Amino acid sequence: MNAPLIETHDLTRHYPSGEGVVAALDGVDVTIQPGEFVAAMGPSGSGKSTFLNLIGCLDTPTRGTYRLAGEDVAHLSTEALAALRGERIGFVFQSFHLLPRLDALANVAMPMLYRGVSRAVREARAAEALARVGLAGRMRHRPNQLSGGQQQRVAIARALVNGPELLLADEPTGALDSRTGIEIMALFQALNAAGVAVLCVTHDASVAAYAARTLRFKDGKMVEDRRHTPVDAAALLRELA
């Protein structure tokens, strides 16, 4: 049996605040299997973004353990953590973080530049990733020549280009109109159906509804872990057509 993709025990993150501490995340135990689509939901300050940062190896816990694909990340060096992020995790944010002077192909290829991949291989993989998100005809367009939804698709292609097992999405539809948001969630569902695990942080119940499991956070604690039948984004788009 394969190891869980994500496994945490007593995962905790405290931050100094004046003379005391703030428990941004407090004792979270959760197991996520490969290929799951999970939403982390809660209001601002609930702990969901801290949870995402810890799962993405962007921060380190105050106490507790976190294993990614069976590996205890607490024992990894800064360089090893960076390598782990590059190989296993793709990040998608509310702000697209595209470089304005580069076209879509170059933006998507950027993560491979730092890994020493040849230009020919970078461009081939970037073109494949863009085709996967439906932008085969927009590869030479710069961000200002693309709609918001297209820019987010470029950002998703960039997150996919190194073949990660896990996509971490932080409010990925927050800067988009409703229909475009549904299109992005349909894309996440298609990627998930192809085997990529997705962890999506959101404050919006309508976005969490596209996942098959919702983790609800409040005051730094995980207060609910619920599985449910996801809304079919592609079917919803057909109804809206």
Domain count, the chain: 1
Question: Do 167 and 199 meet the contact criterion of CB atoms below 8 Å apart?
Answer: yes
Q: What is the pTM of this model?
A: 0.93
Residue 118 within any structural domain of the chain: no
Residue 31 within any structural domain of the chain: yes
Distances (CA, A) of 226 to 33, 67, 222: 15, 22, 11
- Report the CATH number that the domain containing residue 217 is assigned in CATH: 3.40.50.300
Question: Do 8 and 65 meet the contact criterion of CB atoms below 8 Å apart?
Answer: yes
For residue 240, what are the contacts with CB-CB under 8 A and spacing of at least 6? 179, 182
What are the beta bridge partners of residue 82?
A: none
Instruction: Pick 82 or 194 by higher pLDDT.
Output: 194
From the CA atom positions of the chain, what is the Rg in Å? Answer: 18
- Read off the tokens for 42: 């809660």
Q: Indicate whether 49 pLDDT > 70.
A: yes
- Structure confidence at residue 10 (pLDDT): 97
Distances (CA, A) of 1 to 4, 33, 70, 171, 195: 9, 11, 12, 32, 16
Compute the distance between CA of residue 90 and CA of residue 39 in angstroms, rounded to an integer. Answer: 16
Q: Range of 221's domain?
A: 6-93+149-240
Residue 219 within any structural domain of the chain: yes
Compute the distance between CA of residue 197 and CA of residue 200 in angstroms, rounded to an integer. Answer: 10
- Structure confidence at residue 116 (pLDDT): 81
Residue 53 within any structural domain of the chain: yes
Read off the pLDDT of residues 66-119 as tens digits, 9 standing for 90 and up. Answer: 999 998 998 888 888 888 888 899 999 988 999 999 999 999 999 888 778 899
Residue 65 within any structural domain of the chain: yes
Residue 191 within any structural domain of the chain: yes
Residue 141 within any structural domain of the chain: no
The pLDDT confidence band at residue 32, using thresholds 50, 70 and 90, is very high
Residue 134 within any structural domain of the chain: no
Give the three-class secondary structure for 196.
coil
Average pLDDT over residues 211-226: 97
Bridging pattern class, strands 197-202 and 166-170:
parallel
- Structure confidence at residue 1 (pLDDT): 57
